[in-house]
Amino acid sequence: MDRLRMLMFWIVWPVVSLVPLVTRAEQPRVSFDIPYAVACRDVTPGEYSTSHPGYKLMEAKLEISSLLTAGQEKDLTEYLIRVESPQRTLTIADYLPKTKHEAIASSIVKEQGSERVVALGINLSEKYELLTVPGPSAGIGSKKTSSVKTELLPPLETVAASGTLERASVVFFKIKSSPRNLLEGTREYGLVLRVPTVWRADYLRIHCEAEGIRRNMISTFDEEIRCGQRDFVVALYQDGDEEARRIAENFARREAAKLVQGPKSKVQGQGNASASRWPYENSPWAAVQR
């Protein structure tokens, strides 16, 4: 019995001792940031006013920064950026970046070979003659081989995906990491918004999320995790309108302060339902209309 216990100890102990080491690698953590307010430029072409009376097009460029505060860059896999108009007062007419595909691997070389064997054999007339046979054959003769190499394009993989939701009141950007497309740093996202001609200011709700890999001592135990998340309220105003800029920035700062005051604000963690419950009269769009 004692021998059996000792045998079980030496079998189980190496496995147990590895358990604390399985999650020793530090997982990545990402922090996001974005300005309080963004100036919008009027980009309405002349013919647009004729075909869409009462509307104009405004361009907003959102610069979203991300910092890797822990872990390694190679363990970041994807960013998800969701931009929406909570009150559905803005319509997204266009956006950048668009869905993009690129080749992750290098060119692929495909080689095709063929083989002809010329052998000395006997024909139906019982005479020797040179015979061509498909493959090695016994006999006296010579062997000739030839091959053709073809360079193929590597398969394309999606490194950026984008599109609209909720009847063009929401736009999403999904940016994936690749050797030529690192995620950390500042990225610019462009929006073209369709607004009324009297538009001066409004706001957006922006959700930023990062996904990565938690590395383990054994690669089989690697797992996908969310390694960063933050929601922002960003005010928009027409470039050159000083009053609208002041109202928009004050609104954005008040909303940001709400995040600090409570453990869970209306923005953090409640999804789209919280946005629909925000008082519309508090938005910069309502303020500039007074």
- For residue 179, whether the previous peptide bond is cis, meaning omega lies within 30 degrees of 0, is no
Report pLDDT digits (tens) over 149-203.
555 555 555 668 899 999 899 999 998 887 777 889 999 999 999 999 999 999 9
Higher pLDDT pick, 63 / 289: 63
- Asked whether residue 10 carries a pLDDT value surpassing 80, the answer given is no
Say whether 150 sits in a helix, a strand or coil. Answer: strand
* Residue in the structure block whose two tokens are 């409640």: 270
Helix (H) or strand (E) holding 116: strand 108-122
The residue among 89 and 258 whose pLDDT is bigger is 89
Average pLDDT, the chain: 76
If you search the block for the tokens 């007339």, which residue do you land on? Answer: 125
Residue 224 has pLDDT above 50, yes or no: yes
Q: What is the pLDDT of residue 280?
A: 39
254: part of which helix (H) or strand (E)?
Answer: helix 242-261
Q: Percent of the chain beyond pLDDT 70?
A: 61
- Of 68-77, 112-121, 140-149, 272-281, where does mean pLDDT reach its minimum? 272-281
> Which pLDDT band, with edges at 50, 70 and 90, does 259 fall under?
low
Averaged pLDDT for residues 91-112: 71
CA trace torsion 261, 61, 279, 267 (10° rounding): -40
pLDDT at 152: 56
Quote the pLDDT of residue 147: 60
The 10s digit of each residue's pLDDT in 197-222 is 999 999 999 999 999 998 887 778 88
The reported pTM is: 0.67
Q: Is the pLDDT of residue 272 over 80?
A: no
Section 12-17 average pLDDT: 48
**For position 154, what pLDDT does the model report?**
53
- Counting Cα atoms < 13 Å in the Cβ hemisphere of 210 gives 30
Decide: 85 and 189 in contact? Cβ < 8 Å. no
DSSP notation for 170-235: EEEEEEE-BTTB--SEEEEEEEEEEEETT--EEEEEEEEEEEEEE--SSGGG-EEEEEEEEEEEEE
pLDDT value for 268: 38
Higher-confidence residue of 42 and 158: namely 42
Residue 145 pLDDT exceeds 70? no
pLDDT at 271: 41
Assign 233 a pLDDT band (cuts: 50, 70, 90): very high
